[in-house]
Amino acid sequence: MDFERVGRAQDILLAHRVVHSSAPEGRRLRETDAECAGILRSLRDDEVEALVDLLKGQGWDLREYNDTMTGVPRGGRVWILVRRPDAPGRSLLTMEPAWRRIALRADEPRATTIYWFTFLWMIALSFMYERIGRPVSAESEYVSAVFDRDELEERVAERIEALRLAGAGNGATRLPIADALLEGSARETSRRDIQRRVGLFLEVMKDAQMLEKVRDDGADRWRQTLLCAVQVNELYSSELIHLVPDDETIAEMDRVLAAERDGADGAREEVADGSD
């Protein structure tokens, strides 16, 4: 058994999650894709079994698709690493870099950033499934899961305005998530904030290979990737939480927001005492 070749294939798969043997439409083939595809096609059965077992031990299943899958070039193949529902350890996305990249300010509370990311991801998922009446099992329909950046921004703005009009971030009805999305009482979420946040989110999801930009007459159009479609189907019935913050992270958000509110209330009381 050639452990060096098996190890090299494993390394590339873990680094990229998706390997193409032929360039997808509108994109160039990475050198590492060509290298890994060549290795995977040349592995003996026992070497393939060894690679699959190694990946499975790290919480991944290796899936292979040929050109019968929509979007795969004729004669091409695609290999995808899918996170197993029972996998221990890290979640689907390495979230810490994502939190940092979609924050609008260096001092933005971590909980606010996480709420925004989750809010945007849930709206994007609604475009890819609910809007077109698509079940999560329809993986091959990922090429139809298309939306424009403008409509994502518009939907976000509509939801933010609905929260504001409902008073969800104020007074007795104040809710932690709404309070974060509405920026509390410090400042209002502007249309420019939404545009910037959506732009950062789309870039993060592109780098994570969950979304890809569609080449279409200059429009800023996006769609789901095959990797995303397969992963959502794999995890949906067991734990969609792999796509959103886990219970510990949500608890952390609530603690951070509570501490911020307590600090702000204390500051207001001091000001009130001084005015007497």
Count Cβ atoms within 10 A of the Cβ of residue 106 and give its class: 0-12 exposed, 13-18 middle, 19 or more buried.
exposed
Task: Write out pLDDT tens, residues 208-262.
Answer: 889 998 876 677 899 999 999 998 888 775 555 444 444 554 555 556 556 555 5
Asked whether 229 and 211 are in contact (CB, 8 A), the reply is no
Residue with the larger pLDDT of the pair 185 and 66: 66
CA distances from 210 to 63, 90, 151, 170, 276 (A): 16, 17, 18, 35, 56
Assign 265 to helix, strand or coil: helix
pLDDT band at 150 (very low <50, low <70, confident <90, very high): very high
For residue 148, pLDDT over 50 is answered with yes
Residue with the larger pLDDT of the pair 23 and 262: 23
pLDDT value at position 62? 94
Asked whether 233 and 61 are in contact (CB, 8 A), the reply is no
Task: Write out pLDDT tens, residues 86-140.
Answer: 766 555 445 566 667 888 888 887 777 888 888 898 899 999 998 988 888 899 9
pLDDT value at position 174? 53
CATH number of the domain located at residue range(s) 3-83 in this protein: 3.90.1150
Map out the domains of the chain as residue ranges: 3-83, 95-269
Residue with the larger pLDDT of the pair 256 and 44: 44
> Which of 37-41, 71-75, 235-239, 258-262 is least confident?
258-262
Gap between the Cα atoms of 259 and 156, Å rounded? 27
Which of 83, 70, 163, 68 lies closest to 116 in space, CA to CA? 163
For residue 190, pLDDT over 60 is answered with yes
CA distances from 20 to 4, 69, 76, 207 (A): 21, 13, 7, 16
Interaxial angle between packed helices 191-207 and 149-165, expressed in degrees from 0 to 180 and rounded to the nearest 10: 130
**146 - beta bridge partners?**
223
Distance of CA 178 to the CA centre of its chain: 21
pLDDT value at position 160? 81
Q: Residue range 179-202: average pLDDT?
A: 75
Single pTM value for the model: 0.73
Query: Phi and psi at residue 186, in whole multiples of 5°?
Result: -75, -40
Question: What average pLDDT does the chain have?
Answer: 78
pLDDT band at 271 (very low <50, low <70, confident <90, very high): very low
Token pair recorded at residue 34:
């060509």
Interaxial angle between packed helices 95-102 and 191-207, expressed in degrees from 0 to 180 and rounded to the nearest 10: 150
Residue with the larger pLDDT of the pair 223 and 190: 223
Gap between the Cα atoms of 201 and 122, Å rounded? 12
Gap between the Cα atoms of 40 and 58, Å rounded? 19
Give the side-chain half-sphere CA count within 13 A for 101.
16
pLDDT band at 7 (very low <50, low <70, confident <90, very high): very high
Task: Write out pLDDT tens, residues 154-185.
Answer: 999 888 877 777 665 555 445 556 666 666 44
Task: Write out pLDDT tens, residues 79-97.
Answer: 999 888 776 655 544 556 6
Strand boundaries in 40-181, DSSP class E? 60-65, 78-83, 146-148
For residue 35, pLDDT over 70 is answered with yes
pLDDT over 90, % of the chain: 33
pLDDT value at position 124? 93
